[in-house]
Amino acid sequence: MLMTDAKDFLRSKKDELVNFFKKLFSGRKKFIVLPVLLLLLGFFAWRILAKKEEKPQYQTNQVERGTIISSVSASGQVLSVNIMSANTKTSGTVSKIYVKDGDLVKKGDKILEIALDFQGEQKNVSAWSAYLSAKNALESAKTTKYSLQAEMFGKWDTFKELAESDTYKDTDSANRTLPEFHIPEKEWLAAELKYKNQDAEIIQTQVALNNAWLSYVLTSPTITAPTDGMNIGSLDTGTTTSNQKVATVQTGGTPIVTVNLSEIDVSQVQLEQKATITLDSIADKTFTGKVMGVDRIGSVTSGVTQYPAIIRLDSSSAQILPNMTVTAKIIINRKENVLVIPSSAVQNQEGQNYVQLMVNNQPQFVVVETGLVSETQTEIVSGINEGDIVVISSTSSTNSQQNGQSPFGRTSGMGGMMRIAH
């Protein structure tokens, strides 16, 4: 009975609706109502499609086991390489060459000869004179030491005879408190101190002699190899000028670089830690090395504190030259066979780390405990399992930007509150 009445009611309403549209489109009214109706139909169609388009699209990633490396980055420059230069402070014209490129040389071997000009000869003679003067000063210092030694022994004998005499041989005697006893003792002690201090004088004059010799070598017309190695470049023709490099010798050593660490990173860097090094001038090539030293005092430049670290490379290349710019990544820690996900999947609010876990094709915030963090990945200690699917980002077709979702409030594009799983 109820079904019959309902059908009759709908039939009557249908007839009324049909009659309404017939009247609506009769006569001139149809030219006014038709555009309005089309606009209304378009509006409702747009609303329906917009709701469909607002459905977010998720970019996901599967939780996997892998290796994660934590490192700190620092920039700097090449401090020294496996090449040494032979320089000269003299001037003149190259007159003879003893070696060619690629020849092996020993330290002190002749590389080339320079015919000195007037200024060059003047510098050479002056340097030789300074060397001879320094040599004489060293010999004089040694002679003075012998004299001081003889004086010390003489003062010792005088005091020894006095101390062993009948007047002073009793160590408890009141006579030992008299000036006649103490004066010879102090004279002996003073002579001993002068003798010992002369050793420092000898060391000083020896250093001055070495410096004078090096200055003479730099003004010498004969240029020698500064170390054992391979000659990779000599000044074959032309005129030399003061403070000029005239030859280069390649050794078997490896380059050393220095990088500047920040206040945050310096405490994490230790000796023997491995590092990877790249140079702007050598594209598509990475070198390895090891931390050899860290300056814990540092220096302040323009209000910024930096702590230099020294890294020795494991290998060398002819392309590496002094003062080239380098970037180093010092490996702080490394873990293998751990759960890793892209760092972009991890969110943090109020000190708590979260990820969006896909459950039945719906995102669900899950609290996680994180471990090591690399440049692109984060270790997950607990909270999710291997094989789980996590959300990296979410977008909608009407908004290409990543939705700013939060486990503590309404999520953009989600139309409601996310449930948090603990």
Single out the residue in 217, 248, 279 at which a domain terminates. 248
**Amino acid 48: pLDDT:** 62
Let me know whether 197 and 150 are in one domain: yes
pLDDT class for 411, splitting at 50, 70, 90?
A: very low
Let me know whether 277 and 406 are in one domain: no
The DSSP-derived string for 69-119 is EEEEEEEEEEEE-SEEEEEES--EEEEEE---TT-EE-TT-EEEEEEE-HH
Domain range for 8 is 2-53
pLDDT tens profile 72-105: 999 999 987 777 778 888 888 888 888 888 888 8
Does residue 2 register a pLDDT over 60?
A: no
Let me know whether 166 and 98 are in one domain: yes
Share of the chain above pLDDT 90, in %: 39
Let me know whether 224 and 125 are in one domain: yes
Highest mean pLDDT among 53-57, 350-354, 402-406: 350-354
Q: How far apart are CA 413 and CA 152, in angstroms?
A: 97
**Amino acid 272: pLDDT:** 93
Let me know whether 310 and 231 are in one domain: no
pLDDT class for 309, splitting at 50, 70, 90?
A: very high
Q: Once rounded to an integer, what is the mean pLDDT over residues 208-236?
A: 84
Q: Once rounded to an integer, what is the mean pLDDT over residues 334-353?
A: 90
pLDDT class for 4, splitting at 50, 70, 90?
A: low
Share of the chain above pLDDT 70, in %: 78
Does residue 145 register a pLDDT over 90?
A: yes
Nearest to 64 by CA among 358, 373, 390, 420: 390
Q: How far apart are CA 151 and CA 169, in angstroms?
A: 24
Q: How far apart are CA 142 and CA 21, in angstroms?
A: 128
SS3 253: coil
Average pLDDT of the chain, as a whole number: 82
pLDDT class for 402, splitting at 50, 70, 90?
A: very low
Let me know whether 41 and 63 are in one domain: no
Let me know whether 150 and 265 are in one domain: no
Let me know whether 305 and 199 are in one domain: no
Let me know whether 124 and 178 are in one domain: yes
SS3 131: helix
**Amino acid 416: pLDDT:** 35
Q: Once rounded to an integer, what is the mean pLDDT over residues 370-390?
A: 90
| Structural domains of the chain, count | 4
Does residue 305 register a pLDDT over 60?
A: yes
